[in-house]
Amino acid sequence: MKFVVAFSSPKRSAKTVDLAARHARALGAEIVLIRVVPDPEKVGVVAQLISTDRPMDKAKAQVDEVVARLKNSGLEASGIVRVGEVAKGICDIAQEISADLLFLGTTEVHKGRSSLFFKKDPIVQYLVDNCPVALYLVRTPEINSAMDDADDIAASETPSSPEAAS
């Protein structure tokens, strides 16, 4: 059995990864973290002009860190990082690797008795509408993504030395 986690960052995906890990442990499933970094050429001219390899390198480092943590806890885990359209990329990778279940974090809630409603998150909406793999939606706390990214960058640039820990 193979579980896929749509991964965005260690902070934003923590609850989703932890829940997937609990289920994987109980069912003997493998976990694959998927991170799709938006293609600067598709995002716009400004993004293309200022693009570097840093977002891809950072995404790989974050995925590798969480995969190592999962492996250290006794789970079979791996990660995939690609550049492309985020929602379609997640869908395509999940299908390519024959995933049984896709864990997806969302801050959206079910609105009354109507169908699932995801106006604020087009990635979740796309996956709900188009993903051929069964979805497990995990309600996560809303985190300011700009602040989260800034915190992640600052943490990755802080030297880890004994003096810094004091």
pLDDT single digits (tens) 111-166: 544 445 455 678 888 998 999 999 999 987 765 544 444 444 334 433 333 333 33
Neighbour tally for 161: CB within 10 Å: 8
Residue 7 per-residue DSSP state: -
Percent of the chain surpassing pLDDT 90: 51
49-53, 66-70, 146-150, range with the lowest pLDDT: 146-150
Write phi, then psi, for 9 (nearest 5 degrees).
-165, 160
- Which fold is adopted by the domain 2-165? Rossmann fold (3.40.50)
- The residue-averaged pLDDT of 11-26 equals 95
What's the number of CA atoms in the CB half-sphere (13 Å) around residue 83? 13
Question: What is each CA distance from 78 to 26, 34, 83, 118, in whole angstroms?
Answer: 18, 9, 17, 29
Query: Among 66-70, 106-110, 159-163, which range has the highest average pLDDT?
Result: 66-70
pLDDT at 139: 85
Domain boundaries, the chain: 2-165
pLDDT at 106: 85
- Pick from 87, 101, 92: nearest CA to 42: 87
The CA distance from 122 to 119, in Å, is 7
- Pick from 13, 10, 20: nearest CA to 77: 20
